[in-house]
Amino acid sequence: MAGAAATVLAALLLTRMVENEYVFFAGYVVLQFVVLATAWNILGGYAGYVNFGSGAFFAVGAYTSVALIQAFQAPLLVQVVAAATVTGAMGFLVGALTLRLRGIFFSIATVAIAVICETVVINWSFVGGARGIAILQPDTPVGFASYNRMLFVAMTGFAVLAVGLARFVEISWIGRGLRAIRDSEEAAESVGVPTLRLKLAAATLSGALMGVAGAPFPLYMSFIEPVSAFSLNYAVSALAMPLIGGTASWLGPVIGAVLLGTVQQVVTVTISSELNVLVVGLVLVVYVVAAPQGILGLARRLSRREGAGR
Amino acid sequence: MPPELLIEAIVAGLLLGCFYAAMSIGLSVAFGLLDVPHIAHPAFLVLGAYGVFLLGQQGLDPLLAGVLLMPLFFLLGLGLYRFYHAVFEQHSDAGLRGLAFFFGVAFIVEVALIRAFGVDQRMVDAAYIGTSLQLGDMRMPTRMVIAFAVALALTGALSLYLSRTFTGRAIKAVAQDQTALALMGADPIRIKQWAFGIAMGTCALAGALLIIVGPVEPGLGRLYIGRTFCVVVLAGLGSMPGTLAAGLILGVAESVVLTSLGASWAPAVAFGLLLLVLAVRPAGLFGR
């Protein structure tokens, strides 16, 4: 709790001390990936169900905000809560899919859901349809130099919340149950682990957090259109970051998101945004080949070797 | 919808469906028979299309270029499978990491193509592109008829190969029971490597069809991830006639929706179909 409060406070202080606006612009994106990767890891890392549709959850969260802004200029907090509710329900549906589908079939089903959501949004002119829609940022709240600085602090809060929830899931009996499901669903079921209820809970929580990651996106960008909101990059990043960091612990997605997210920002600015995709691809291949358990696994292996040498 | 329009949509869908089957047949071998989560398959289709584009600039016919590229892609497939097997399959955790690996490969191919050719759309020239055939009252674009014929030939050839030849039967056997095949004195890994090579080889010819049917850009592969996996799952893993049938179903469904609701709804219906199959009959139409 103290750590969580300190992190948010540090973010708040940062908005006072740093002049450069770009720091917050880029920092927001990295934090948004922390939320997304952490959310993915709850279902993908702990329970072993690989969601390829993270981009859709993110975008549905964002478009829930757009719909609310369009309808009655809803404030940010209302947007986030509504987005979490909608994508949480979506997550529940995905969780119900796991009744019949395992492994790659589950993953393909999530891709299908993503494409269906995208098609619906493209055909829904109220939220801008295929052409996209411009969103006006409200007045900058008192005490902040810019609206994006406020969003940066808010996203820090969401990231802390997401990581806290993931950590709670991991160390509680829920996490043990999910790990049992990942190792052998039949065995878990036969010793009395309530597999379906656990999977539904994990999928709902994971979905809701992804919606939270996407909810402030329209205000942050001031513009949103379906192709970039539903971009495959979100889906792949959400899965690449935990894999890079290590899927076994809540710390893994955070490490992966900060590393890969920062590298992506630097590459986008210094070289080009298409190389961004190359970086994700290369990093993904290198890590799954060379460090199967992610950075955390690598660190553990190194420290064990050191310990044996002494 | 008036009946003439519906019939026209169905005919167009049948042609389109054969084209989809040709796009998916390699994946049907790689994923359906060998259980390799080859997400990069569509990226290699696009790579094949660009290879055909390059040869086409030298004045080569696109179909001929596709056939010429097949051995090259076959070798590429041998190498890729060797690597995949050594790094992932041997360690029994091939699932998630293998998937992530092929995702990475797909991204690398895509960016390599962007670096080499830029993001512009590319197309090829041939006498039969842009003309159409008249059949009764209906006009069919010749390029679609060619895709139709090549898809039929490809499916037929692969079906025959898998059921008549020794190696083909061994590939089917390795899909059923790898250990049993090893006990019969055949090396399952070499058989799988061979089969994966064939799967990649079809990417060259299918890539030629891709650029014959329409202009190609590096990111096009992303569009086909869903379609190809939809066809393979709908078919029932590893069935060649099933792949053709599933392609036809997808093609007709897309085409009918295209003419009745409009182009923007077409992809959703294809995927709705996929979800329906996954929910009701995960084994597919011709499941093993």
Supply the range of the domain harboring residue B250: 3-280
| Helix and strand counts by DSSP (H, E) for chain A | 15, 2
Residues whose CB is less than 8 angstroms from the CB of residue B107 and which lie 6 or more positions away in sequence, other chains included = A236, A277, A278, A280, A281, A284
Q: What is the pLDDT of residues B210-249, one digit of tens each?
A: 999 888 988 888 888 888 888 888 888 778 888 999 999 9
Q: What is the 3-state secondary structure (H, E, C) of B201-217?
A: HHHHHHHHHHHHHCCEC
For residue B127, pLDDT over 80 is answered with no
For residue B288, pLDDT over 60 is answered with no
Asked if residue B287 belongs to a domain, the reply is: no
Q: What is the pLDDT of residues B30-89, one digit of tens each?
A: 988 888 888 899 999 999 999 999 998 888 888 899 999 999 999 999 999 999 988 887
**Mean model confidence pLDDT for chain B:** 86
CB half-sphere exposure, A49, CA atoms < 13 A:
35
Distances (CA, A) of A26 to A7, A57, A236, A245, A258: 17, 21, 19, 20, 11
Asked if residue B239 belongs to a domain, the reply is: yes
Asked if residue B90 belongs to a domain, the reply is: yes
Residues on chain A touching B99 (C-beta within 8 angstroms): 50, 104, 107
ipTM of the complex, rounded to two decimals: 0.76
Asked if residue B166 belongs to a domain, the reply is: yes
Smallest CA–CA distance from A130 into chain B, residue: B264
pLDDT of A308 reads 60
Q: Which residues pair with A210 in a beta bridge?
A: none
CA distance A158 to chain B (A): 27
Q: What is the pLDDT of residues B78-125, one digit of tens each?
A: 999 999 988 887 765 656 778 888 888 988 898 889 888 888 888 887
CA angle in degrees (0–180, nearest 5) for B277-B278-B281: 60
Residues whose CB is less than 8 angstroms from the CB of residue A27 and which lie 6 or more positions away in sequence, other chains included = A152
d(Cα A295, Cα B199) in Å, to the nearest integer?
Answer: 34
Looking at the 3D structure of chain B, how many domains does it have?
Answer: 1
Structure tokens at B202: 């079809």
Structure tokens at B187: 């090396």
| Element containing residue A133 per DSSP (H, E) | strand A133-134
**Cβ <8 Å between B101 and A275:** no
Candidates A122, A243, A284; nearest CB to B264: A122
Which one, of B204, B203, B154, B23, lies nearest residue B162 by Cα? B154
**Does residue B61 sit in helix, strand or coil?**
coil
Structure tokens at B53: 């584009």
pLDDT of A83 reads 94
pLDDT of A249 reads 87
Phi, psi of B133, deg, nearest 5: -100, 145
More confident residue, A19 or B15: B15
Residues whose CB is less than 8 angstroms from the CB of residue B122 and which lie 6 or more positions away in sequence, other chains included = B49, B50, B53, B211, B215, B216, B217
pLDDT of A280 reads 80
Phi-psi region of A192 (alpha: psi -120 to 50; beta: other; left: phi over 0): left
Which one, of B229, B176, B244, lies nearest residue A103 by Cα? B229
d(Cα A303, Cα A270) in Å, to the nearest integer?
Answer: 35
DSSP string, A10-70: HHHHHHHH---HHHHHHHHHHHHHHHHHHHHHIIIIIS----S-HHHHHHHHHHHHHHHHH
DSSP string, A173-242: HHHHHHHHHHH-HHHHHHTT--HHHHHHHHHHHHHHHHHHHHTTHHHHHSEE-HHHHT-HHHHHHHHHHH
Structure tokens at A298: 């690598």
In chain B, where do the E strands start and end? 132-135, 138-141
Asked if residue B288 belongs to a domain, the reply is: no
Burial of A103 (C-beta count, 10 Å sphere; 0-12/13-18/19+): middle
Burial of A70 (C-beta count, 10 Å sphere; 0-12/13-18/19+): middle
**Cβ <8 Å between B282 and A113:** no
Q: How many CB pairs under 8 A join A and B?
A: 116
- Which positions in chain B have a beta carbon within 8 angstroms of at least one beta carbon in chain A? 31, 37, 87-88, 91, 93, 95-97, 99-101, 103-108, 110-112, 114-115, 119, 222, 225-226, 229-230, 233, 264-265, 267-268, 270-272, 274-275, 278-279, 282
pLDDT of B93 reads 61
d(Cα A113, Cα A63) in Å, to the nearest integer?
Answer: 15
A108 lies within 8 A of chain B by CB: yes
pLDDT of B287 reads 63
Share of chain B above pLDDT 90, in %: 27
Question: From the first residue on, what is the mean pLDDT of each consecutive set of 10 residues in chain A (310 residues)?
Answer: 76 76 86 94 89 91 92 88 94 84 80 86 85 84 82 91 93 90 86 88 94 92 86 85 87 91 83 75 82 81 70
pTM comes to 0.84
Asked if residue B285 belongs to a domain, the reply is: no
Exposure string over A149-170, b if 16+ CB within 10 A, otherwise e: bbbbbbbbbbbbbbbebbeebb
d(Cα B30, Cα B177) in Å, to the nearest integer?
Answer: 16
Residue B65: give its domain's CATH number: 1.10.3470
Neighbours of B180 (CB within 10 A): 12
